[in-house]
Amino acid sequence: MENEKLDRDIRATIKKNWRLFKQSRLGMTGLGIVVFFGFLSILQPMLFLTGIWDEGIYHPVVGYDAEKVDRTIVECPKQYPTKEYQQEGDCPRVDEVNIRYLKAFNIEGEVGEIYESNLQPAPPSSRHILGTDSLGRDIFSQIMEGSQVAFVLGLISAIIGVGISTLLGTAAAFYGGVLDTYLMRQSDLVLMLPTLPFLFIISAFAELQIWHLAVVLGTIGGLGGSVITVKSQALQVKVKPFVDSARITGGSKRRIMFAHILPNVAPLALLFMVFSVTGAIASESVLSFLGLLNIDMSWGIMIYLAQAEGFIFTGLKYWWLILPAGLSVTLLAGGFYLVGRGLDDVFNPRLRRR
Amino acid sequence: MLIYTVKRFFEMIIVFFLFLIISYLLFNAIPGNAFSSLLLNPLLPPETYQRTIELFGLDKPLFERVQLYIINFFKGDFGYSYIYYPRSPIEVIAERLPRTLMLFSIVNVIAFYSGFLVGKVLAWRRGSKSETWITIGSVFSYTVFYPWFALMMLWFFGYKMNWFPLGKFLVPEKWYDSPYSSDEIFYTLILFTTIGSFLLFLVFIFTRNIESLENRRNARIVGLLFLLVLASIYWSNGEASLKRFYAADIAFHMILPTFTVTLVAFAGTALLTRTTMMEVLKDDYILTARAKGLSQKRIRDRHAARTALLPVVTSFIFTIITIIDGSVLTESIFSWPGMGQLILEAVTREDIPLAMASFSFIGILALIAHFIADVSYAFLDPRIRVKADT
């Protein structure tokens, strides 16, 4: 009987909060972005399982597909300008190939013949929606793989971090004394730790997998500044009348902490969780951008490859190598941030418009 | 207040010792040691390896080694850097640290000031179309994947438009017959910027109490012009006129990194100011001010923004620590030879003495920033101040 009532209460609260959340336009935009990337990350295994995509072609790491183009073999003149070519850079044209290159690789061919060559990186086509990279791998499939990595990492690290910080923060506020002092100094220490150099050092002696990184990031995030914030929130809850009445009616310390204080700190913790996902995604991308992670494919690695192979400075000519990965990181991190803003509006009544 | 500061100071010292011990243990956990490669040489008898280990004290128990490390840290003895062999890590850091500090303090001041202005206006115009678009823009620059953004900026302004140099600290060709070393010039530049910004700060402090907003703005513009004239007099006379050419080269290389980091860094302040301003605007005294018939601008700048400043300032001081993180990326993308690039280089090339020294120095920097943040927070927030005194 009582359980049913509790259920109804919770459902009503969720409904009310959802209504409030829907009012914030930025929050809904963020939710849309997150759902979109979530859909992308589920879509890829589905495509492989149903056989619509062949793993040999579309696999993000070992797939290969060559796009064939026909090029006319020409011999570039020694002096410019000639009738056909104005400058030295004009020969060979896009649909032509210089015979000297063919000779250098011992390929047979005469001037005027058609030579079939592989085009890599290939521009977007109906086969590859976002084209292929310089190794003939499908970019769209890589983006999907990257969003799986981002979700796994972001959610694991956020859950670990929030779990730690909520427990420790509430305990610090509730028990006070030596525990409080110790926890606060500990978070001073963690806050002081420069995160990126610290991760560099860890990556120097450990082969970092995704979940290692998630645990490390979650622990650092959970022990750091969020403990202080959760503690200050819990301190505000602790002095409320219902905690006193729980104590007077004989509630044990542990029960008061878990049944009365924790639920009131939970919204703040949820907010933290959403914001820390943003940080975790950015950290992963930065580390793999610097080539310090032991991951096959992620958005950071895509940008790292584009930069290492020198496509960044070709500008927009090879836009499919540069824009999708960078924009995906930005959009997903931004999406989580906007969801956090929307939740902030819900849980912080002072921010509401009415 | 004094008691609070002293108490925090002692706590900070304890935290610092813990930090030193942890950083030693961290490096100690790296498999192998600096001389493991000697074992690979078949011509070398095993005793030689043993002797080398003993010579460098690596066979001592862990506790003793930690003790030695801490003692040597306060002696300033970090051994020798492997990459920059004859130089000690302290010398390398002494060369690199000012460059990072200079670049990022300029960025911070600009980013904080512009972010606060933007956030103030955003909160004030809540619900308008421009507010939505500027907020989306700031969210974009707050969450943008920084290395990618920096590379795009470098491509657009450095390569496509060719307005700015592609990274680096200076153009070596210009410095072949230079009578000064680049460090000398850079110290002059630092001194100039510090004094300049101090004078600018004084102008702002002195004009703060001018009642009319319009007069205050005019007074500030006059002060700024006066400072500019002073600066041009300084650079066109005496020894400074000889250094001018070289200083301009370094300053020119600083523009693009400064601009890029500012674009990214200002958004955080702007978004935070927006939130705190919105909270403040709900307060009763804003309604009172409106009822008194004060002008809109006055309510915004004098009543709301002053109150909203407090959390923004404290969070700003806390972000000084994250600057060190950002510096690694900025410096490796713009090839700016500072602390961030140094620590990345030291870690990837396994130069352990240099890596340890720079890691500890970054820790000290973070510690000082943290201490200032705590004390200034207590100073700015009367609730903590009162609690600490009693």
Which residue, A179, A292, A316, A33, is CA-closest to B155? Answer: A316
Residue B378 has pLDDT above 80, yes or no: no
- Ranges of beta strands (E only) in chain A are 67-74, 96-98, 114-119
Report chain B residues whose CB lies below 8 A from the CB of A351: 275, 278-279
Among residues B357, B387, B389, B338, the alpha carbon closest in space to that of B167 is found at: B338
Nearest C-alpha neighbor of B91 from the set B78, B105, B100: B78
Smallest CA–CA distance, residue B199 to chain A, in Å, is 32
Give the residue with greater pLDDT, B164 vs A76.
B164
Segment among A312-316, B61-65, B292-296, B376-380 with least mean pLDDT: B376-380
Quick: pLDDT tens for B379-390.
Answer: 766 555 555 444
Give the pair of three-digit tokens for residue A178. 């030596």
Cβ of A334 within 8 Å of Cβ of B344? The answer is: no
Show Cβ contacts of residue A342 under 8 Å, excluding neighbours closer than 6 positions. Answer: A21, A24, A26, A27, A28, A30, A31
Would the CB atoms of B355 and A201 count as touching at under 8 Å?
yes
Cis peptide before A81 (omega within 30 of 0): yes
Q: Give the model confidence (pLDDT) of A162-199 as tens digits.
A: 899 988 988 888 888 888 888 888 887 887 777 888 88
Between B279, B318, B343, which is nearest A200 by CB?
B343
Dig out the tokens for B262 from the structure: 């500012």
Alpha carbon of B11: minimum distance to chain A alpha carbons (Å): 8
Per-residue pLDDT reduced to its tens digit, B86-123: 888 999 999 888 888 888 888 888 888 899 989 988 88
The predicted-structure confidence for B33-61, as pLDDT tens digits, reads as follows 667 777 777 888 878 888 888 887 778 88
* Residue B136 clears pLDDT 50, i.e. is over it: yes
Residue-wise pLDDT for A267-301, tens only, equals 888 888 888 888 888 888 888 888 888 888 889 89
**A265 has pLDDT over 60:** yes
What percent of chain B shows pLDDT beyond 90? 9
Specify the residue for token string 């183009």. A69
Question: What does the pLDDT look like over A88-111, one tens digit per residue?
Answer: 767 777 777 778 777 888 777 777
Given an 8 Å threshold on Cβ–Cβ distance, is A191 in contact with B30?
no
Quote the mean pLDDT of chain A.
Answer: 84
Q: Is the confidence at residue A141, as pLDDT, over 60?
A: yes
Asked whether residue A158 carries a pLDDT value surpassing 60, the answer given is yes
Contacts for B243 with CB less than 8 Å, ≥ 6 apart:
B180, B185, B188
Q: Which residue has the higher pLDDT, B153 or B53?
A: B153
Q: Give the separation between CA A143 and CA B172, rounded to whole angstroms.
A: 41
The pair phi, psi for residue A73, each rounded to 5°, is -85, 130
Cα–Cα–Cα angle for A346, A347, A351, nearest 5°? Answer: 70
Using CA atoms, how far apart are residues B157 and B24, in angstroms rounded to an integer?
A: 42
How does the average pLDDT of chain B come out, rounded?
84
The residue with greater pLDDT, A45 or B372, is: A45
A286 → chain B, closest CA residue: B147
Residues in A closer than 8 angstroms to B31, CB to CB, are 205
The phi and psi torsions of A76 (rounded to 5 degrees) equal -75, 135
Shortest Cα distance from B334 to chain A (angstroms)? Answer: 13
Residue-level pLDDT at B61: 87
What pLDDT does residue B385 have?
A: 54
Query: Would you call B278 and A351 a contact, using CB atoms and an 8 Å cutoff?
Result: yes
pLDDT at residue number B390: 43
Nearest CA in chain B to A292: B348
What average pLDDT does range B205-211 have in this prediction? 80
- Mean pLDDT along residues A228-245: 83
Query: Residue B329 and residue B151: Cα distance in Å, rounded?
Result: 11
The reply to whether B372 touches chain A by the CB within 8 Å rule is: no
The answer to whether residues A288 and A301 touch, using CB atoms and an 8 Å cutoff, is yes
8 Å CB contact between A298 and A150: yes
Chain-centre distance for alpha carbon A143: 11
pLDDT recorded at residue A350: 63
Prior bond to A121 cis, omega within 30? yes
CA gap A106, A265 in Å, rounded: 72
Contact status, residue B366 vs residue B324, Cβ threshold 8 Å:
yes
Q: How many CB atoms are closer than 10 A to CB B344?
A: 22
- pLDDT value, residue B257: 92
pLDDT of B259 above 50:
yes
- A 257-296: CB under 8 A from B: 278, 282, 285-286, 289-290
Confidence of residue B226 (pLDDT cuts 50, 70, 90): very high
Cβ within 8 Å, pair B143-A25? no
Mean pLDDT in residue range A16-44: 89
Q: Which residues of A touch B367 (CB under 8 A)?
A: 192
pLDDT band at A354; cut points 50, 70, 90: very low
pLDDT in tens, A296-342: 888 989 988 888 888 877 777 888 888 899 899 999 999 998 898 88
pLDDT per residue as tens digits for the range A70-85: 888 887 777 777 777 7
CA-nearest residue of chain B to A27? B136
Interface contact flag, A315 B362, Cβ < 8 Å: no
**pLDDT band at residue A349 using 50, 70 and 90 as cut-offs:** low
Q: Which residues of A touch B136 (CB under 8 A)?
A: 26
Instruction: Please give the share of chain A, as a percent, with pLDDT higher than 90.
Output: 16
